[in-house]
Structure 1
Amino acid sequence: MGLSVTELTSELVRCHPTHRSTGVSDAIDLAGHTLKALGFDCEVRPYDGGRQITATHAFPTDGPHVIVHGHIDIEDVVQESGWSAPGLWRAGEVRDGRVYGAGSSDMLGGIAVLIAAARRLAGRTGLTGRITVQIAIDRHLGGGGTRALQNADLPHASLAVLAEPTDRHVCTTAYGFAHYRLTSRAGGGVMAYAAEEDNAATHAATALLALDSANRMLQDLYPTQQHIRYVLPGSIHAGDSASTAAVTGAVELAIALPPLLPEETALDIVNDSLIRRFTAADLPLPDWERMEPRFAATHLGHQNFSDLLRTVNPALRWCQYPCPSDARVFQDLGIPVVLYGPGDLARTKRPDEYVEIAELDECADTLDAALARWLT
Structure 2
Amino acid sequence: MNVVEILDRLIAFPSVVGTPNHEIAGWIREYAEQHGATVTVLPGPEGDRVNLFATLGPADVPGYILSGHMDVVPPNDPTNSRDLFRMQRVGTRLYGRGASDMKGYLAAMLACLDSLRGKTLKQPLHLAFSYDEEAGCRGAPHMISRLPELCARPLGAIIGEPSGLQAICAHKGKAAVRLTVRGRTGHSSRPDQGLNAIHALTEVLGTAVQTARSLTAGPLDPVFEPPYSTLQVGTVRGGQSVNIIPDLCTADLEARAIAGVVPLEILEPIRQHLTRLPEQGYEVDWTVLSNYPSMSLPQESDLARLMVELTGLPPLAAVSYGTEAGLFQAAGIDAIICGPGDIAHTHKPDEFIETAELEACQQMLERLTARLVA
What TM-score, normalized by structure 1, do the two folds share? 0.74
- Tell me the equivalent position of 1:40: 37
Please tell me the root mean square deviation across aligned C-alpha atoms, in Å.
Answer: 4.2
* 1:27 positional shift: 1.7
Retained in 1: the 8 A contact 2:181–2:285?
no
Quickly say closer, same or farther: Cα 1:168–1:153, change in 2 above 3 A: closer
In the alignment, which of 14, 22, 33 is matched to residue 16 of structure 1? 14
Measured in 1, the distance between the counterparts of 2:164 and 2:27 equals 26
- Aligned pair count reads 350
- Tell me the equivalent position of 1:150: 147
* 1:254 positional shift: 0.3
- Tell me the equivalent position of 1:91: 86
* 1:112 positional shift: 0.9
Instruction: Note the alpha carbon deviations across 1:321-367, whole angstroms, 9 max, x for none.
Output: 53443334433432211221122334333322222223212222223
- Tell me the equivalent position of 1:72: 70
Consecutive unaligned residues of structure 2, counting only runs of 5 or more, are 274-283
* 1:255 positional shift: 0.9
SS in structure 2 of the partner of residue 27 of structure 1 = helix
The reply on whether 1:31 has 2:28 as its aligned counterpart is yes
SS in structure 2 of the partner of residue 55 of structure 1 = strand
Task: List aligned pairs for 1:65-214, cutoff 5 A.
Answer: 65-79=63-77, 81-85=78-82, 87=83, 89-120=84-115, 122-123=116-117, 128-139=122-133, 140=135, 141=138, 143-147=140-144, 149-150=146-147, 152-180=149-177, 200=198, 204=202, 211=209, 214=212
Q: Which moved more, 1:294-303 or 1:224-233?
A: 224-233
Measured in 2, the distance between the counterparts of 1:304 and 1:30 equals 34
Retained in 1: the 8 A contact 2:97–2:351?
yes
Retained in 2: the 8 A contact 1:180–1:288?
no
Retained in 2: the 8 A contact 1:12–1:108?
yes
Give the AA of the match of 2:81. S
Task: List aligned pairs for 1:277-292, cutoff 5 A.
Answer: 291-292=288-289
Q: Which moved more, 1:42-51 or 1:5-14?
A: 42-51
* 1:237 positional shift: 1.4
- Tell me the equivalent position of 2:279: none
Quickly say closer, same or farther: Cα 1:255–1:20, change in 2 above 3 A: closer
Measured in 2, the distance between the counterparts of 1:264 and 1:134 equals 27
- Tell me the equivalent position of 2:276: none
Retained in 1: the 8 A contact 2:175–2:254?
yes
Residue identity (%): 20
Retained in 2: the 8 A contact 1:201–1:249?
no
SS in structure 1 of the partner of residue 54 of structure 2 = strand
- Tell me the equivalent position of 1:280: none
Measured in 2, the distance between the counterparts of 1:304 and 1:21 equals 38
SS in structure 2 of the partner of residue 358 of structure 1 = helix
Measured in 2, the distance between the counterparts of 1:38 and 1:263 equals 41
Q: Which moved more, 1:244-253 or 1:99-108?
A: 244-253
Q: Which moved more, 1:183-192 or 1:332-341?
A: 183-192
Task: List aligned pairs for 1:167-316, cutoff 5 A.
Answer: 167-180=164-177, 200=198, 204=202, 211=209, 214=212, 218=216, 230-244=230-244, 249-261=249-261, 263=263, 291-299=288-296, 303-315=301-313
Retained in 1: the 8 A contact 2:14–2:85?
yes
Instruction: Note the alpha carbon deviations across 1:167-195, whole angstroms, 9 max, x for none.
Output: 4331233321123456789999988999x
Measured in 1, the distance between the counterparts of 2:255 and 2:32 equals 39
Measured in 2, the distance between the counterparts of 1:137 and 1:288 equals 27
* 1:117 positional shift: 2.8
Quickly say closer, same or farther: Cα 1:223–1:241, change in 2 above 3 A: farther
Quickly say closer, same or farther: Cα 1:43–1:248, change in 2 above 3 A: closer
Consecutive unaligned residues of structure 1, counting only runs of 5 or more, are 275-286
Retained in 2: the 8 A contact 1:65–1:158?
yes
What TM-score, normalized by structure 2, do the two folds share? 0.74
Q: Which moved more, 1:176-185 or 1:110-119?
A: 176-185
Please state which structure has a larger fraction of its residues in helix: 1
In the alignment, which of 348, 351, 356 is matched to residue 349 of structure 2? 351
- Tell me the equivalent position of 1:360: 358
Retained in 2: the 8 A contact 1:168–1:316?
no
Measured in 2, the distance between the counterparts of 1:258 and 1:337 equals 16
Measured in 2, the distance between the counterparts of 1:258 and 1:154 equals 31
